[in-house]
Amino acid sequence: MARYEVRIKRSAIAEIEAIPRKTDRRRILERIGALADEPRPPTSRKLTGAERYRLRQGPYRILYSIEDEVLTVFVVRVAHRREAYR
């Protein structure tokens, strides 16, 4: 399988930087990096009503979209689970 390019929105970068625990930030970045090799891991779920997927990392959710034509994964949001879908 081809390797995907992972792009993170500026707002998602700010959300990652705002996470208080360094270990949570590191784990989230590892999960995002793994999307380059496997954009649809078995633990991801497709969101209804949108062409987006979500990954769980502890209490946080990583929301992203995939463009297979250009082999790109766009991370659009990283938020705590109570705020992720608003």
Using CA atoms, how far residue 69 sits from 2, 3, 66, 72, 73, in Å, is 11, 12, 9, 8, 11
At 78, the pLDDT band (50, 70, 90 cuts) reads very high
Question: In this predicted structure, what is the pLDDT of residue 18?
Answer: 96
Do 81 and 60 contact (CB within 8 A), yes or no? Answer: yes
Read off the amino acid at residue 58.
G
Q: Among residues of the chain, what percentage have pLDDT more than 70?
A: 99
E runs forming strands in 1-86: 5-8, 45-46, 53-57, 60-67, 72-80
What residue spans define the domains of the chain? 5-80
Higher pLDDT pick, 30 / 2: 30
Q: Residue 6: pLDDT above 70?
A: yes
The structure's pTM equals: 0.92
Domain 5-80: CATH class, spelled out: alpha beta
